[in-house]
Amino acid sequence: MSSRLRIAVQSKGRLAEGGMDLLKRCGLRFAYGRDKLHQRAENMDVDLMLVRDDDIPNFVASGACDYGIVGENVLAEEQAAGGRAQELEIALRLGFAGCTLKLAAAEGGEITSVKDLDGKAVATSYPALTAKYLADNGVKAEIVEMRGSVEVAPRLRIADAICDLVSSGATLQANGLKAFETVLESEAVLIRRKSGRDATADEIANILMRRARGVIDCAQTKYIMLNAPVDRLEAIRSLLPGADAPTVAQIAGRDDVVALHAVCRERVFWETLEALEKEGARAILVLPIEKMLA
């Protein structure tokens, strides 16, 4: 049994940067100049294995790694395809690399719902998820598997529709396509085997996951400080997004105004600040929170 935690991370791509960034924010330090396949943390018993994201579910299922950072879409596809990925579970949702697996077809065309796909061909890099979604909807369609550039399939008449990952929707639009159904909402997730895990590796992982929760929460959590007229205190409190019990403090030499400090767990928009101001709040400060253990 190893006494170190081995985490599989994408070597390059959309998950690589976000994954490394999160691990560093959790306090891991890595030596400069990295090996092609391995990276050893200097300050914790953690090793990273840098691999292709599509291989990560198998690496973790087989026990080559204890944990892995992968898109939920890849995990779900491997699980839908059967095999060892079914022994995996999500340990933590990581809050980055958000995207949606969607069905799309030519804008203004005759395909506008999943039912219209009966007898048609659908191009995708996610054959198992797509097949399952179609079957769940009682639709019989041909699946055309493509490794990339799925969005060109309808124009090339390789397929009538596609099932592909969408984030901003710009790629679909540029190819004259319109999404009409959501198959899966995805984000980066931390995965592990459901059972048969190494106890020491789990212990280290638990420390990292506690920190990661703090990091993920901090990303949208803000610390708000403001001065509030005592008679508007309740109205002002109710405007604070996702704040539990704020601190109310006396201001020296004033009995009509108090200082209010609160941690807001939801996004704070300009509109919120303007509404606070309208209720009489003054000297409003919104501060980022760097670390948080809740």
Q: Which residues bind ligand ATP (CB under 6 A)?
A: 13-15, 52-54, 71, 73-74, 97, 99, 165, 167, 186
Nearer to ligand ATP, 99 or 144 (CB): 99
Q: Which of 53, 77, 181, 198 binds Zn ion (CB under 5 A)?
A: 53
- Rounded Cα distance between 83 and 215, Å, is 33
Comparing CB distances to Zn ion, the nearer of 53 and 116 is: 53
User: What's the CA gap between 14 and 164, in Å, rounded?
Assistant: 16
Decide whether 175 or 272 has the Cβ nearer to ligand ATP. 175
Nearer to Zn ion, 7 or 165 (CB): 165
From 50-58, 217-225, 247-255, 269-277, give the range in contact with Zn ion by CB under 5 A.
Answer: 50-58
Judged by beta carbon distances under 5 to 8 A according to partner kind, the member of Zn ion, ligand ATP, none in contact with residue 165 is ligand ATP
Quote the strand ranges of the chain, DSSP E: 5-10, 38-40, 46-51, 67-71, 88-93, 99-106, 121-124, 142-145, 161-166, 177-186, 188-193, 222-229, 247-250, 257-264, 282-288
Q: Vertex 154, ends 148 and 155: CA angle to 5°? A: 100
Q: From the CB of 68, what's the least distance to Zn ion, in Å?
A: 13
Strand partners, 114: none
Q: How far is the CB of 213 from Zn ion (least distance, A)?
A: 26
User: Considering the complex, what minimum distance in angstroms separates the CB of residue 15 from ligand ATP?
Assistant: 5
Nearest residue to ligand ATP by CB is: 71
Pair of tokens at residue 207:
């420390």
Tokens of 282: 């003054």
Q: What letter would DSSP give residue 1?
A: -
Q: Which is nearer to Zn ion, 71 or 246 (CB)?
A: 71
Binding site for Zn ion (CB under 5 A): 53-54
